[in-house]
């Protein structure tokens, strides 16, 4: 069985894979514990990134509230 690489799974997750590629990948993930595990790890990374992004967004929101803007 051919396994997916981190890069390929990343493409799948980001919806950048072709439709046929996505179908093949999703059916593979249902059967393959190894690739599912990698996918889980990628999703963990995602949570971290999402957390970082929300921190940045919060910082931006706070900067925008500053009364410096008079227009």
Chain positions contacting Zn ion, by CB under 5 A: 3, 32, 34-35
Please check whether residue 38 is in contact with residue 6, taking contact to mean a CB–CB distance below 8 angstroms: yes
Closest by CA position to 9, among listed 32, 34, 33, 38: 38
Nearer to Zn ion, 1 or 65 (CB): 1
In the complex, what is the shortest distance from the CB of residue 48 to Zn ion, in angstroms, rounded to a whole number? Answer: 24
Nearer to Zn ion, 38 or 45 (CB): 38
In the complex, what is the shortest distance from the CB of residue 24 to Zn ion, in angstroms, rounded to a whole number? Answer: 11
In the complex, what is the shortest distance from the CB of residue 14 to Zn ion, in angstroms, rounded to a whole number? Answer: 19
Please state, in angstroms and rounded to a whole number, the distance separating the CA atoms of residues 14 and 25: 13
Please state, in angstroms and rounded to a whole number, the distance separating the CA atoms of residues 22 and 38: 16
């Amino acid at each position: 069985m051919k396994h997916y690489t981190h890069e390929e799974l990343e493409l799948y997750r980001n919806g950048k894979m072709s439709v046929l590629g996505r179908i093949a990948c999703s059916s593979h993930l249902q059967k393959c514990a190894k690739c599912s595990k990698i996918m889980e790890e990628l999703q963990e990374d995602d949570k971290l990134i999402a957390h970082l992004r929300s921190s940045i967004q919060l910082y931006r929101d706070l900067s925008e509230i500053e009364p410096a803007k008079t227009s």
